[in-house]
């Protein structure tokens, strides 16, 4: 730091400029120029600021991060704007990365306070809204320096992070800048002093050279003032600074939603589009952060200020900006952004990020200051009538996107707790008291015939023009509510749009289908839990030691659940139960309707309490799925119990079996069965205990005790009825051999030799076989 300051001081010293600035050590040749003017004439490409830039670039390689930041702070404080404007583009690239990828920058998206506390603290202090970086910006603005940066180079947030995004420097800085320039309390802070003499002067506002004609089409410099020559505006000192807040909001919208201007979105939807833009979860999270703060910013407008701005122009620029921020800057691009996400996002649990962003936008009352005064009761709050204009002027955000969510929900596996939670969240938000009535009122205003009111004929429903600044061109408030709703819909969907009412018959049919799927998903989750529980509890005692083969067909697949268990089933059941309740409240569905629809879909259980099979008909060659059955299988609502129905001795060799040993045992058992077939049949035909004992060991339950659905399978089972036979395949299992080895090891610890151990094992198995024989015969008697 001392060396850098000395070099800067020497360079800035008037007495040393002529003698040392152009000294031979700075150039490959030994020519010495007497003064800076002569030097500039001799070397026009080596102006004074180039030395500063070259020195900073060299220090960025040789010095540590903390030292570099201290040097930058000193340079920003000591140097005038004339000498600083050449380092600004390099400084931006060194912090945020270069367009060609050579400079990585400070990597703010991965900079975390817990991982790198020192670098994190220095970077946050330097880039703070009141920090050195913004002081540099204010210095350059005071001299009206401009820097061109094509908006097409503005990147989204690609990739994903493996850290909590809410704790990284990027997100925290976004929140700080929003709080600074879009304050929810008080007014916008003036720019900080760039010199000890006081705050930097703010020149008189000027008319922009190029208007912001529909943001996203014609872009001017992001550091220009956008205040027009207006007496009422110039009379208010706050108007000199409100343009900074407007510019910041436009910068953020261009950074994160610039793909979603109407023209760009139409190009993306074209089948001839060369590239498709898919936002990441991180991108969605930062947009949600912007929306939540904008709602808090706009909601900080007092009710009397809202009513005053609707009938008068004697309001402050900040109040006008609060009223116009969301509809003027964000609404159209956000609507297209959400439509794109609803249509292209994968059908998995990652959609939760998009869902929460959408729900945050739909509930501005959650971020209003008066929400603190509400009691924290269990019942949802009633949405105040104050928010009726917002609901009506964002009608498509509620209605069309709700239909889009329904189409997604009908294609997802609602047995998954994560998917069930998303359905629950949407149903809970839309079921808030008074919200459905507001949406219905908005639809009535939009569907109101135009011929009813003569003075509205021949109007053109378009969005308000976007000119240089909202302060200079914000149109007078439209008191015709119906016209405002129509203008909103037509500006987003076009004059020839076909609107589907949210509470009309088409959407009601979709809601009924979702209610059916919710009921089916609840039963499926319960069946999964029951079947997995039965397969675990119903195993024989010796199966825990590996003496019985494991049934791989006894349990459902995971169905994208985090874990199959009582806790997951309980969560799924709770979410779906409440979601169904909220949907019934919104669309006034009766229990009789649900019961009838549930019965029609065949979701009732059969006589054994098990879930039914997919809907199908019996043909000559077996079962044939109906379209409903295909839908049930695709959505995981029902499934066939697939199990091996052939000869158990001819099953493919499993991974837990020794292939060569299994083949050898099969040949041995086949020889024994062929040699003693008559004797085994005679023993099994006896009616005494010995006959029962032999049948338990030599007769395979096979297909005779199974419920076969296919006529082909039943015919195959009848034609392939097998007699008594011996099976030795169990001895070819790794688990059986390991269990036997373990038994011998344990026996040796008690000083029991191999032969006595074998005798004990045989005796134990005979006792087990006798008990199982008696239980089997008793169960057969009960069935008779």
Examine residue 4 and state whether it is found in any structural domain, yes or no: no
For residue 501, is pLDDT > 90?
yes
Name which residue leads in pLDDT, 725 or 596: 725
Number of Cβ within a 10 Å radius of residue 98: 14
Name the residue among 246, 161, 243, 231 with its Cα closest to residue 203: 243
Residue 129 has a pLDDT of: 94
Whether residue 737 sits in one domain with residue 713: no
Whether residue 687 sits in one domain with residue 579: no
Whether residue 746 sits in one domain with residue 713: no
Whether residue 407 sits in one domain with residue 487: yes
Whether residue 399 sits in one domain with residue 359: no
Whether residue 719 sits in one domain with residue 677: yes
Name which residue leads in pLDDT, 387 or 556: 387
For residue 301, is pLDDT > 50?
yes
Angle at 226 between CA 220 and CA 228, to 5 degrees: 130
Examine residue 308 and state whether it is found in any structural domain, yes or no: no
Number of Cβ within a 10 Å radius of residue 6: 10
Residue 450 has a pLDDT of: 65
Over the stretch 174-218, which tens digit does the pLDDT of each residue have?
A: 999 999 999 988 777 777 654 444 444 444 443 333 333 333 333
What 3-state DSSP class applies to 131? coil
Decide if 556 contacts 400 (C-beta within 8 A).
no
Over the stretch 56-98, which tens digit does the pLDDT of each residue have?
A: 999 888 999 999 999 999 999 999 998 898 999 999 989 988 8
Whether residue 668 sits in one domain with residue 585: no
Examine residue 96 and state whether it is found in any structural domain, yes or no: yes
Tell me the C-alpha distance between 504 and 45, whole Å.
Answer: 71
Over the stretch 727-751, which tens digit does the pLDDT of each residue have?
A: 999 999 999 999 999 999 999 999 9
For residue 580, is pLDDT > 60?
yes
Highest mean pLDDT among 48-62, 73-87, 299-313, 689-703: 73-87
Examine residue 268 and state whether it is found in any structural domain, yes or no: yes
Tally of structural domains, the chain: 5
Which residues span the domain enclosing 251? 243-301+317-369
Tell me the C-alpha distance between 633 and 614, whole Å.
Answer: 7
Q: Region 464-478: what's the mean pLDDT?
A: 44
Over the stretch 129-163, which tens digit does the pLDDT of each residue have?
A: 999 999 999 999 888 888 887 665 655 557 555 55
Residue 743 has a pLDDT of: 92
Residue 10 has a pLDDT of: 45
* pTM recorded for the entire structure: 0.67
Tell me the C-alpha distance between 456 and 702, whole Å.
Answer: 80
Q: Region 402-415: what's the mean pLDDT?
A: 93
Residue 263 has a pLDDT of: 65
Tell me the C-alpha distance between 693 and 406, whole Å.
Answer: 60
Residues with Cβ within 8 Å of 199's Cβ and at least 6 positions away in sequence, in order, are 190, 191, 192, 193
Examine residue 611 and state whether it is found in any structural domain, yes or no: no
Residue 72 phi/psi, 5-degree rounding, is -65, -40
Examine residue 425 and state whether it is found in any structural domain, yes or no: yes
Decide if 160 contacts 169 (C-beta within 8 A).
no
Q: Region 526-546: what's the mean pLDDT?
A: 55
Q: Region 472-476: what's the mean pLDDT?
A: 46
Name which residue leads in pLDDT, 259 or 765: 765
Per-residue buried b or exposed e for 128-153, using 16+ beta carbons within 10 Å of the residue's own CB: bbebbbbbbbbbbbeeebeeeeebee
Whether residue 294 sits in one domain with residue 172: no
Q: pLDDT category, 474, cuts 50, 70, 90? A: very low
Examine residue 201 and state whether it is found in any structural domain, yes or no: no
Tell me the C-alpha distance between 704 and 560, whole Å.
Answer: 35
Tell me the pLDDT of the chain averaged across its residues: 75
539, two tokens: 């195993």
For residue 680, is pLDDT > 70?
yes
For residue 14, is pLDDT > 80?
no
Over the stretch 637-655, which tens digit does the pLDDT of each residue have?
A: 677 777 666 778 888 898 9
For residue 33, is pLDDT > 60?
no
For 499, 523, 599, 602, 609, the CA distances from 606, given in Å and listed in that order, are 43, 12, 12, 10, 6
Residue 8 has a pLDDT of: 45
Decide if 197 contacts 254 (C-beta within 8 A).
no
Whether residue 410 sits in one domain with residue 365: no
Decide if 81 contacts 142 (C-beta within 8 A).
yes
What 3-state DSSP class applies to 623? strand
Name which residue leads in pLDDT, 123 or 7: 123
Whether residue 711 sits in one domain with residue 769: no
Residue 43 has a pLDDT of: 33
Domain final residue pick, 577, 603, 629: 603
Q: Region 40-61: what's the mean pLDDT?
A: 65
What 3-state DSSP class applies to 625? strand
Q: Give Dmax (Cα) for the chain.
A: 127
Tell me the C-alpha distance between 484 and 391, whole Å.
Answer: 12
Residue 175 has a pLDDT of: 94
Residue 75 has a pLDDT of: 94
Tell me the C-alpha distance between 21 and 2, whole Å.
Answer: 18
Q: What is the DSSP letter of 198?
A: B
Residue 141 has a pLDDT of: 86
For residue 431, is pLDDT > 90?
yes
Helix axes 417-430, 435-447, angle to 10 degrees: 70
Residue 399 has a pLDDT of: 96
Examine residue 39 and state whether it is found in any structural domain, yes or no: no
Whether residue 252 sits in one domain with residue 103: no
Residue 528 has a pLDDT of: 72
Q: What is the 3-state secondary structure (H, E, C) of 523-560?
A: HHHHHHHHHHHHHHHCCCHHHHHCCCCCCCCCCCCCCC
Whether residue 411 sits in one domain with residue 528: yes
Percent of the chain with pLDDT over 70: 64
């Amino acid at each position: 730091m001392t060396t850098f300051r000395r070099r800067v001081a020497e360079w800035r010293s008037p007495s040393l400029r002529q003698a040392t600035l152009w000294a031979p050590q700075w150039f490959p040749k030994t020519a010495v120029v007497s003064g800076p003017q002569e030097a500039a004439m001799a070397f026009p490409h080596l102006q004074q600021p180039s030395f500063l830039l070259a020195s900073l670039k060299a220090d960025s390689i040789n010095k540590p991060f903390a030292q570099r930041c201290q040097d930058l702070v000193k340079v920003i404080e000591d140097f005038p704007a004339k000498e600083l404007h050449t380092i600004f583009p390099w400084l931006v690239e060194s912090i945020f990365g270069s367009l060609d990828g050579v400079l990585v920058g400070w990597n703010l998206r991965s900079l975390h306070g817990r991982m790198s506390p020192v670098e994190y603290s220095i970077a946050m202090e330097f880039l703070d809204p009141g920090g050195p970086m913004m002081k540099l910006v204010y210095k350059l603005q005071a001299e009206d320096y401009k820097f061109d940066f094509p908006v097409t180079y503005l990147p989204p947030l690609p990739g994903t992070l493996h850290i909590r995004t809410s704790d990284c420097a990027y997100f925290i800085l976004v929140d700080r800048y929003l709080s600074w320039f879009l304050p929810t309390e008080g007014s916008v802070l003036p720019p900080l002093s760039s010199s000890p003499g006081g705050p930097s002067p703010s020149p008189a506002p000027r008319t922009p050279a190029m208007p912001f004609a529909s943001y996203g089409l014609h872009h001017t410099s992001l550091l220009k003032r956008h205040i027009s020559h207006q007496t009422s505006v110039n009379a208010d000192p706050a108007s000199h600074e409100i343009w900074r807040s407007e510019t910041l909001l436009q910068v953020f919208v261009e950074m994160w939603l610039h793909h979603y201007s109407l023209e760009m979105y139409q190009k993306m939807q074209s089948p001839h589009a060369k590239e498709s833009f898919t936002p990441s979860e991180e991108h969605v999270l930062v947009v949600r952060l912007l929306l939540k703060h904008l709602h808090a910013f706009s909601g900080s407008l007092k009710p009397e200020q809202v009513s005053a701005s609707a009938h008068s122009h004697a309001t402050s620029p900040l109040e006008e900006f609060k009223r116009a921020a969301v509809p003027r800057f964000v609404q159209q691009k956000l609507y297209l952004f959400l439509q794109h996400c609803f249509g292209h996002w994968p059908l998995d649990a990652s959609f939760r990020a998009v869902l929460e962003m959408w729900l945050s936008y739909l509930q501005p009352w959650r971020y209003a200051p008066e929400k603190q005064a509400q009691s924290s009761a269990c019942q949802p709050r009633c949405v105040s009538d104050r928010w009726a204009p917002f609901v009506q002027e964002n009608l498509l955000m509620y209605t069309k996107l709700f239909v889009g969510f329904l189409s997604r929900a009908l294609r997802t596996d609602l047995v998954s707790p994560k998917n069930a939670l998303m359905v629950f969240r949407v149903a809970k938000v839309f079921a808030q008291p008074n919200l459905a009535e507001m949406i219905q009122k908005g639809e009535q205003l939009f569907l109101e015939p135009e011929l009813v009111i003569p003075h509205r004929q021949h109007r053109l429903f378009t969005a308000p023009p976007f000119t240089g600044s909202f302060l200079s061109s914000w149109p007078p408030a439209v008191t015709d509510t119906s016209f405002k709703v129509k203008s909103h819909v037509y500006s987003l969907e076009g004059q020839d749009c076909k609107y589907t009412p949210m509470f009309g018959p088409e959407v009601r049919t979709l809601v009924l289908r979702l209610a059916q799927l919710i009921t089916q998903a609840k039963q499926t989750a319960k069946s999964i839990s029951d079947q997995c529980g039965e397969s675990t509890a119903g195993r024989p005692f010796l199966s825990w030691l590996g003496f019985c083969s494991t049934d791989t067909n006894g349990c459902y697949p995971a169905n994208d659940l985090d874990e199959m268990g009582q806790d997951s089933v309980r969560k799924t059941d709770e979410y779906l139960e409440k979601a169904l309740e909220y949907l019934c409240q919104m669309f006034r569905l009766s229990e009789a309707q649900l019961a009838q629809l549930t019965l029609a879909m065949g979701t009732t259980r059969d006589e054994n309490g098990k879930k039914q099979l997919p809907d199908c008909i019996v043909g000559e060659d077996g079962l044939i799925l109906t379209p409903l059955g295909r839908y049930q299988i695709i959505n995981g609502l029902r499934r066939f119990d697939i199990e091996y129905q052939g000869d158990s001795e001819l099953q493919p060799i499993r991974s837990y079996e020794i292939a060569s040993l299994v083949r050898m045992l099969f040949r041995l058992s086949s020889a024994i069965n062929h040699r003693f077939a008559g004797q085994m049949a005679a023993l099994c035909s006896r009616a005494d205990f010995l006959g029962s004992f032999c049948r338990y060991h030599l007769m395979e339950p096979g297909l005779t005790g199974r419920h076969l659905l296919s006529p082909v399978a039943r015919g195959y089972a009848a034609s392939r009825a097998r007699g008594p036979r011996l099976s030795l395949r169990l001895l070819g299992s790794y688990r059986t051999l390991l269990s036997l080895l373990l038994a011998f090891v344990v026996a040796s610890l008690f000083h029991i030799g191999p032969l006595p151990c074998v005798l004990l094992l045989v005796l134990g198995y005979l006792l087990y076989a006798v008990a199982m024989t008696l239980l089997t015969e008793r169960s057969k008697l009960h069935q008779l």
